[in-house]
Structure 1
Amino acid sequence: MGYESWMRKKSNLECFLEKTTPYVPSHSLPKTSIREGCLWQPIGKDAVDCFSLGDLWDQYYEWSAYGLGVPVHLATGKTVVQYYVPYLSAIQIYTNKSNVAFRIAGEDSESDSWSDDSESEKHSKSWDATSEESSSELPVGSWPAKDRLGNLYFAYIEYCPPYGRVPLMEKVTEIARTYPGITSFKSVDLSPASWMSIFWYPIYHIPFRRNMKDLSACFLTYHTISSSFQVASYADTITGGDSEEGASRTVGGKNGKRVMEANNCVPLAPFGAATYKAQGNIWIDPKSKDHERLSTLYSAADSWLKQLSVHHHDFSFFSSRSTMWI
């Protein structure tokens, strides 16, 4: 079965999760090149499998610049392509190395908040200011860094409203000027506590249709970025083990789109997710397990943040405005 035929069999939610999963080229490293104490995923007697964070960000290069098109099947039988732009919502990089610089970063809080009745910016008009003060740099003691998590090299949480955010690749480039590890580290350098969250914001759909409020849904996806959580097969994660159907896909990257075989790269399928304005049948198909899947992904994200004692601003915003989890 071809990739497009397989996609048509999936619900809109499943298509979204599949399309927004980055496929990162994997590399084999001799075990002798891995520093003592690093966690790794064995692929053979004398080698380990890993990916670089630089290659990870390359997967978002085109998506960040032009948006990612996700096919959405409507109740009328028609299909539109909804384009989403990714933003870096949050990231924590824990390393297995000692004596690594510690920093917490975030954007200054906005005094206004975005609400449902926005017109010019749709649902980006305002952004609730949190009760906690946010700043570009917080005191070391304000973030709980436990020895078992590794060494916290860098952490970032976004507070700006969507329309005020810096494009993902621009944000990564900005961070890398001070913390080059965000692009140079390999997944074997990172402890299992390392993760990132991507905010997917809708920008337009083709062909354009009026009064399609359900297409204004926003998503948060959560991904681990350590080798300890590498998935052997993308198909096992999304298709329930049917590896033939999920064997390949088109991947965005700095050098253009390309088809990559699943066994030649690492799929970072989301382990958690949250939604905003996704209560309609378009995103939650009553004939599928969409509601159960979203509930599971939401619970996983909530549990992850609580275990790390992280206040994720976007997640709090989504949670306070969603009726799905009540």
Structure 2
Amino acid sequence: MPRHRNGGDRACRERLSQQQQQLVVRQQQQQKRQMLQSGGARVEAEEKPPDGDDSSLFPTLFVPRSVTNLDRLMESVAPFIEARYSPEVYARGFETTKVDSRAFFYLEDLWESFSEWSVYGRGVPLLLRGGEPIQQYYVPSLSGIQLHIHPSKASSTLTALMITAGCGNWEVDKGDEYVFDLHTKQLSRVDNADSPGQLSIQFFERDLPHDRRPLSNKMSLLASPFPELSKIRSCDLLPTSWISVAWYPIYRIPVGSTMQDSQAAFLTFHSLSTQSKSSSASPKFHQANTRTVCGFVDPTARISLPVFALASYKLKGSIFGPRGTDEWEQEKSLSQAAENWLKCVQVELPDYMYFRRRSSGVMF
């Protein structure tokens, strides 16, 4: 039976999870503050960092003077997912008295939110340097994903994965941590686990972009051997669960005389856990109805997955290229957040490593 040695730093992961939440809060504050500010200003987190904070793990997110093309991209590619509730809430006609009314989503709901974008691309409204508006379309593909399932919720999924991986004769030890690789379809036990009983499921894409399936198709393919994967709930995932989506340009409207300024590609990072009750947690809950009734939930509500970090490729010379100090600061802080996150979850994401190595040149 394969066994891995756990080199993870749990304290580091927890601090990065807090950093992730703070970055999302700052992004959510951005539009409100832009309407009040006449010039660029650094936005400090409303809540104090934890004791022993390392400032390098909590880079200050810079708020530009006006909405940038990066802002438009991040807002456009954040998926909105149907909010789900416990069976008791539905049975009571969305009345929440004395029942758990916390919203969550199934992973299959997330894949579904990408289905239309996977076919037609995701349109992002952008401004050229002369102020001309265009609609740039990007196709999403899976770059990487890590699901860390809470020990109290992992047993049924683990049993199903054991059967799929041909490990049905294993005896489950609650003191062990388990890792399932969606690429190799191998299940491993982790030695010296600092998260006993936890089940982690991961996949890191290695195919070249032109050989990849769009995101929703890829996840359907990965999940087909074990349907249990699609039924994992966001509220059963630990805050260190995340997904990285690669966005490559496919066309723009109007086409224009050249596409040289439209070749930038991006990796966006999104949290997948709705476990936290904190107001600073992400994903973010959205009520569609403006009128709310005390004691009832909104059946049309949605959950969004904001971008908490971003990496770029061929940014220089593109319509996303920073046009001033404030936009350089914005790009730098988002890039630093991605680097810090991957470093502390100890993942060498192939797409990210490629972006780092090749800041210019021909696109794949």
* TM-score normalised according to structure 2 size: 0.62
Counterpart in the other structure of 1:164? 211
- Aligned: 1:274 with 2:314: no
Counterpart in the other structure of 1:208? 255
1:17 to 55, 74, 79: 74
2:117 to 63, 86, 90: 63
Q: What count of residue pairs does the alignment treat as equivalent?
A: 257
Q: How does 1:252-267 map to 2 (within 5 A)?
A: 264-267=301-304
Partner deviation per Cα, 1:222-280 (whole Å, 9 max, x = no partner) = 1110113688699998xxxxxxxx997xxxxxxxxxxxx9x922110011110001123
**Alpha-carbon distance, 1:295 to partner:** 1.8
In structure 2, C-alpha distance between the alignment counterparts of 1:159 and 1:276, rounded to whole Å: 17
Counterpart in the other structure of 1:312? 349
Q: Which amino acid aligns with 2:85?
A: S
Unaligned runs of 5+ in 1: 1-5, 33-42, 107-135, 238-245, 249-260
Task: Identify which range, 306-315 or 175-184, moves more after superposition.
Answer: 175-184
Are the equivalent residues in 2 in contact too, given 1:81–1:206 (CA < 8 A)?
yes
Decide whether aligned partners of structure 1 residues 139 and 281 sit closer, same or farther in structure 2, where only a CA change above 3 A counts: same
SS in structure 2 of the partner of residue 315 of structure 1: helix
Are the equivalent residues in 2 in contact too, given 1:70–1:82 (CA < 8 A)?
yes
Are the equivalent residues in 1 in contact too, given 2:262–2:318 (CA < 8 A)?
no
Are the equivalent residues in 1 in contact too, given 2:136–2:249 (CA < 8 A)?
yes
Are the equivalent residues in 1 in contact too, given 2:308–2:337 (CA < 8 A)?
yes
2:104 to 46, 50, 62: 50
In structure 1, C-alpha distance between the alignment counterparts of 2:75 and 2:196, rounded to whole Å: 29
Q: Percent sequence identity over matched residues?
A: 33
SS in structure 2 of the partner of residue 183 of structure 1: helix
Decide whether aligned partners of structure 1 residues 13 and 149 sit closer, same or farther in structure 2, where only a CA change above 3 A counts: farther
**Alpha-carbon distance, 1:65 to partner:** 0.8
**Alpha-carbon distance, 1:301 to partner:** 1.7
Q: How does 1:1-326 map to 2 (within 5 A)?
A: 10-29=67-86, 46-47=99-100, 48-96=102-150, 97-99=153-155, 100=158, 101=161, 102-106=179-183, 136-137=184-185, 140=188, 146-148=193-195, 151-228=198-275, 264-280=301-317, 282-287=319-324, 289-322=326-359
Q: Which amino acid aligns with 1:307?
A: C
Decide whether aligned partners of structure 1 residues 153 and 85 sit closer, same or farther in structure 2, where only a CA change above 3 A counts: same
Decide whether aligned partners of structure 1 residues 301 and 59 sit closer, same or farther in structure 2, where only a CA change above 3 A counts: same
SS in structure 2 of the partner of residue 214 of structure 1: helix
In structure 2, C-alpha distance between the alignment counterparts of 1:188 and 1:98, rounded to whole Å: 12
Task: Identify which range, 311-320 or 287-296, moves more after superposition.
Answer: 287-296
**Alpha-carbon distance, 1:285 to partner:** 4.0
**Alpha-carbon distance, 1:17 to partner:** 0.3
**Alpha-carbon distance, 1:138 to partner:** 5.7
In structure 2, C-alpha distance between the alignment counterparts of 1:149 and 1:209, rounded to whole Å: 56
In structure 1, C-alpha distance between the alignment counterparts of 2:227 and 2:194, rounded to whole Å: 23
In structure 2, C-alpha distance between the alignment counterparts of 1:288 and 1:211, rounded to whole Å: 27
Decide whether aligned partners of structure 1 residues 145 and 31 sit closer, same or farther in structure 2, where only a CA change above 3 A counts: farther
**Alpha-carbon distance, 1:216 to partner:** 0.6
**Alpha-carbon distance, 1:204 to partner:** 0.8
**Alpha-carbon distance, 1:30 to partner:** 7.2
In structure 2, C-alpha distance between the alignment counterparts of 1:215 and 1:146, rounded to whole Å: 45
SS in structure 1 of the partner of residue 356 of structure 2: helix
SS in structure 1 of the partner of residue 258 of structure 2: coil
Partner deviation per Cα, 1:100-143 (whole Å, 9 max, x = no partner) = 2442133xxxxxxxxxxxxxxxxxxxxxxxxxxxxx346736x8
In structure 2, C-alpha distance between the alignment counterparts of 1:230 and 1:51, rounded to whole Å: 15
In structure 1, C-alpha distance between the alignment counterparts of 2:191 and 2:339, rounded to whole Å: 17
Are the equivalent residues in 1 in contact too, given 2:143–2:246 (CA < 8 A)?
yes
In structure 2, C-alpha distance between the alignment counterparts of 1:70 and 1:156, rounded to whole Å: 27
Are the equivalent residues in 1 in contact too, given 2:273–2:283 (CA < 8 A)?
no
Q: Which amino acid aligns with 1:207?
A: P
Decide whether aligned partners of structure 1 residues 69 and 187 sit closer, same or farther in structure 2, where only a CA change above 3 A counts: same
Structure (1 or 2) with the larger CA radius of gyration: 2
In structure 2, C-alpha distance between the alignment counterparts of 1:146 and 1:293, rounded to whole Å: 37
**Alpha-carbon distance, 1:89 to partner:** 0.8
Unaligned runs of 5+ in 2: 1-34, 36-65, 90-95, 162-178, 289-297
**Alpha-carbon distance, 1:180 to partner:** 2.2
Are the equivalent residues in 2 in contact too, given 1:231–1:267 (CA < 8 A)?
no
